[in-house]
Amino acid sequence: MFLAVQGPPERAAVLGRVAITREFKPTEVQSPGMVLGPDEPAVTVPTDGPEIPKLGFGTARITGNDCKRAVETALEVGYRHIDTAQMYDNETAVGEAIAESDVDRDDVFVVTKVHPDNAAREDVLSSTRASLDRLGVATVDLLLLHAPSDRAPLEETLGAMNDLQSEGVVDHIGVSNFEVGGLERARDISETPIVANQVKYHPYHQQGELLEYCAGRDVCLTAYSPLAEGAVPGDDRLAEIGDRYDKSAAQVALRWLVQQPAVAAIPKTATLAHIEANAAVFDFELTAEEMAAVADLGDGVWDRLAATLGLR
């Protein structure tokens, strides 16, 4: 009930040797503060491939029935980007929630991640197929390498991920917890675009250099821990900004992230009220001064980044 429409018309993407035809269909932007229902397309990040919904639902450290109920609620509220991982031990619960939801599978952008211990070729192939079985899906929209790994050369890992794309069981690939140098190397190695890099990003832990790199190359920077593991909700400085819009500190921090063009955010919570509140970030817009004030809470260099992102 809280997601908005934005983005260019849908297009099929041809990624190297892999033709991807199942894509989201965002419509023309109406207004930056428009509040829409759960059946509307999500605000998205354009990449060198898919349109990735800007607001996702994270599931790290939520397992079993708690995870299933949380994902069911998120889908009812309007989230269309669900993030899981082999490491989280919750792919079965996530898959059951998606299967039992009234939302069509094709309308949900499902992300999972290869455990760094599974980086060798055969382990990538077998573990990803096991992930698909647990999720109960024929394909996953985005497969990430969860972190740099010393179990196999990156060429071997990405080669296996490319082969899974060729088989049609993975639509797009990316990485997680990669710095600029590693991301650039991954992009050079992969036969298909690296469309996302999932990293920790919140007002107190900024990613200016990485975001500048991603924004210039159609790579989505997906922000995990966007609420700084519970530190954001108690920040009086963010709450003061939020008071102007009848919003909470957490909603201001999430708005700060999703208002940055190349950024998606995946807050996690098992609480109904928080699931709903975290989604209510598309009916207001921070000013340039407020964006800078939030950035001042961290260690980044905002002025140059804001200019690069067109936020000044």
**Six token digits for residue 251:** 């909603």
Separation of alpha carbons 195 and 44, rounded Å: 13
**Six token digits for residue 143:** 């497969």
Active site residue 88: yes
Asked if 172 and 15 count as a contact pair (C-beta separation under 8 A), the reply is yes
What does the longest C-alpha to C-alpha distance in the chain come to?
54
Asked if 57 and 23 count as a contact pair (C-beta separation under 8 A), the reply is no
Please count the other Cβ atoms lying within 10 Å of the Cβ belonging to residue 226. 29
The active-site residue, picked from 88, 201, 213, 224, is 88
Q: Which residues of 70-101 are buried (b: 16+ CB within 10 A; e: fewer)?
A: bbbbbbbbbbbbbbbbbbbebbbbbbbbbeeb
User: Which is nearest to 144 in space by CA: 103, 88, 101?
Assistant: 88
| Residues acting as catalytic residues | 88
